[in-house]
Structure 1
């Protein structure tokens, strides 16, 4: 097999763009937590790639041998992408997932606890789920076992493997670690004029960091979705256009909904942009452009109202909004794949184009299997971390993890 130069360059560039998203997530978290935890948030962004990549390059050949041939990922009859380039591309997705989980439970876990989880995530948890769906594993081929041959879990760029995974894992970690002192104070009778996350601006958070982080995430997302075609083709155009439309419209819809309540809310706009990008991710290379408008509008509403739902009715402390932005939108976007997929774009017909109902059932069952595994293993690991003393004390939380974990005291 020979190297496909164009596909290799495109995949490498895509991986580089996705890599940019890892520190961008640190910026996003840094803008939505107390000032005494800004350095900790950015350090977790760095920790994600520092731990993940060395482990990933060791374990990748074992988990993804089923899609490799003679050291290449085939993209044609006699040409392919070198396995190390493809490993880097997929590894960037894994490091992004880890960084998103890090951001989901800020201010409550010691840095050593995050390091321990990162090792487990990088060596076992994420490679298993990714290989089940992207490595020609049993979830990718699930329909063959259930009477719907040729169908299985399809996830274009990470609706289940990255975003639903991170949103649910972060929520589980948050639930086990418990409320922050700030949230507990709010629940015990402080001013409820603003919901916890909606009052970010009033808590001396570094909100400009979150805005910059969101813009950088959007930029990197074109590598996330556009690069997932692996070769430049008409499908690439759909993936890029759909990403631009859904991410932008998601932010606009959420912003307009916030304005109905009296403000042009920056936190709501950030959440809507990310929600739109998340929901389109599993669909980007499978659907036509009109579907991107539908997805963007839906994601903006899901993120806006989902944030209110989480803040007011679900007993977790999620100041970064990981569950509504990534969890809700990742699940819904992945669930829509067998419904909205266009044969014109990727050769597979979803339900609205006459595709089989069986694919819908297979997709949903496969998602449930993958995400149940994520929830169960994450819960077990963070329960152990809490029992081992990695949950910060009240005194440490008051001081902030910048000082406690990193020896940095900011004026």
Structure 2
């Protein structure tokens, strides 16, 4: 294959630049996801999560180059799956466009779509975190990609039956990514069962490193604009309206979560992070088909639905979806996909349709979107169950040792925080132990003296309190 600086007139440099930037933004979502999940889970499983996500992204990217692109965007076999005309991404040009990318190089479109294919099954890691063996994980993401992502993406974004027969709308992956991964996450939570101490914490395990989770969440938020607005495949007004709709949905959903958490307990950092991500995930399918003003309305709906679905799934049904992927991604993906049937407006995207609230007020698009949610959700559930059963027979699913040991040391031989796991090689002598104990007690006595002194000074009967103070200190000194 020979390359030159000459390109076809179809290629727009501005659009190409925007999609290049968007591709890199979506790539950065993968380490961001690792930071976010690692910060919210046990520190002894940090390396496991990083290895799952970065290793998984590498495996899935290789798969995309080998067969993924052609199975999704190749010419269709009966509307079910693509052919092998572009296996190894052969004949995907760098200097001309394709029917899927009219303004950018076909190879750039393939590169952008590779990022979507790579991150989709990685979202499910938040559901089975701290329980699934790594070898089972590798088999699962490969099977999930082959039998769920590639077919569904072909049905909706390629020349598949949902696209050609019904023109199902999914701007950036509410059906292809979030509905499928959310349903699979719920199935994984049911099959793998509860983690140790699930009832002790009522399913809400304390985060190990909240600043790390916040960093990951902030990077996800930033990168999501490439995820959604990059799907416009152009740098014009459609990309702008998509960015604005995305931001409005994210912030309104985040505010809803913040308010509810404040009313129920205290204003929670974890809650507002999850709320923002729920808004981002939910607006994904609709972001390029709606007036951005309605992004805020959808964001409020997404915030309430995702928050209360956690109460149902985790607290009522007692399903251990570790990081609530089924609610934050799955439920929101379903709602956002159906919302197109209400709020879709052709004025914002010539490739879209008017929903129930606009144009002729036809319920057709609403019915199509609801049907697509049912089809993709059911397909994902069935294939996920089959995959888990087969993998369990081959290598087993769950870890076979005490969860308190952690996956990092047992499965990867590495530790994220070495100082937390360091051990004292030499046994302490009795004198060293006594010295440590005496030092701790002495420190406690000093603090108690200061506290009692303050109480005596502020009391109405100083002499009585001085005697009481002296007695208490004497007892403490006896201990020493």
The alignment's TM-score, normalised by the length of structure 1, stands at 0.89
Corresponding position of 1:42: 50
Q: Does 1:18 align with 2:16?
A: no
Q: Does 1:63 align with 2:78?
A: no
Answer whether contact 1:74 1:81 (CA < 8 A) is retained. Answer: no
Q: Does 1:182 align with 2:205?
A: no
Distance 1:70 1:220 in 2: 26
Alignment correspondent of 1:107: 130
- Classify the secondary structure of the residue corresponding to 2:37: helix
Structure 1 unpaired stretches of 5+: 144-151
What does residue range 14-163 of structure 1 map to in structure 2 within 5 Å? 14-59=22-67, 60-66=69-75, 71=93, 72-74=97-99, 80-143=103-166, 152-163=167-178
Find the partner of 2:357 among 342, 349, 352: 352
3-state SS of the aligned residue for 1:29?
helix
- Change in Cα spacing, 1:355 to 1:65, as seen in structure 2 (3 Å) is farther
Shift of residue 343 of structure 1? 2.1
RMSD, aligned CA: 2.0
Structure-2 separation of matches of 1:111 and 1:394: 12
Contact 2:117 2:149 in 1 (8 A): yes
**1:367, distance to aligned residue in structure 2 (A):** 2.1
- 2:389 is matched with which residue? 383
> More relative contact order in 1 or in 2 (CA 8 Å, sep 6+)?
1
SS in 2 for 1:116: helix
Indicate how the Cα distance of structure 1 residues 21 and 232 shifts in structure 2: closer, same or farther if over 3 A, else same.
same
Q: Assess, with a 3 A threshold, how the Cα gap between structure 1 residues 262 and 366 changes in structure 2: closer, same or farther.
A: closer
Deviations 1:179-202 (A, max 9, x none): 11222xx1xxx4xxx6322x524x
Distance 1:316 1:139 in 2: 32
CA positional deviation for 1:136: 2.8
CA distance in 1, matches of 2:318, 2:276: 25
Per-residue deviation, 1:83: 2.4
Q: 1:182 to 1:391 in 2, by over 3 A?
A: farther
SS in 1 for 2:264: coil
Deviation per CA, 1:334-374: give whole Å up to 9, x if none.
01112111122113211100342122212211221122111
User: CA 1:140/1:264 → structure 2, altered by over 3 Å: closer, same or farther?
Assistant: same
Distance in 1 (CA, whole Å) between partners of 2:411 and 2:400 is 14
SS at match of 2:273: helix
Q: Aligned residues, how many?
A: 389
Contact 2:298 2:339 in 1 (8 A): no
Contact 1:4/1:81 (CA < 8 Å) preserved in 2?
A: yes
Q: Tell whether the 8 Å contact from 1:26 to 1:103 is kept in structure 2 after alignment.
A: no
Distance 2:293 2:388 in 1: 41
Determine the structure 2 residue equivalent to 1:320: 323
Structure 2 counterpart SS, 1:395: coil
Within the candidate set 186, 199, 211, 2:214 is matched to 211
Secondary structure (helix, strand or coil) at the match of 1:126 reads: helix
Determine which structure has more spread, i.e. the larger CA radius of gyration: 2
User: 1:178 deviation in Å?
Assistant: 1.4
Aligned to 1:164, which of 172, 179, 183?
179
Deviation at 1:38, TM superposition (A): 1.1
Question: What secondary structure sits across from 1:140 in the alignment?
Answer: helix
3-state SS of 1:58 partner = helix
Encode CA deviations 1:45-86: one digit per residue, 9 max, x unaligned. Answer: 10221111111012212430249997433478xx54222211
- Alpha-carbon distance in 2 for matches of 1:313, 1:262: 18
Give me the TM-score of the superposition, normalised by structure 2: 0.77
CA, structure 1 residues 73+401, in 2 after alignment: closer, same or farther (shift >3 Å)? same
Is the aligned partner of 1:405 residue 2:408? Answer: no
Give SS of 2:98's match: strand
Q: Distance in 2 between matches of 1:229 and 1:264?
A: 36
For 1:165-314, list aligned pairs within 5 A. 165-183=180-198, 186=199, 190=200, 195-197=202-204, 199-201=205-207, 205-314=208-317
Shift of 1:388: 3.0
1:369 aligns with 2:375: yes
CA distance in 2, matches of 1:394, 1:58: 34
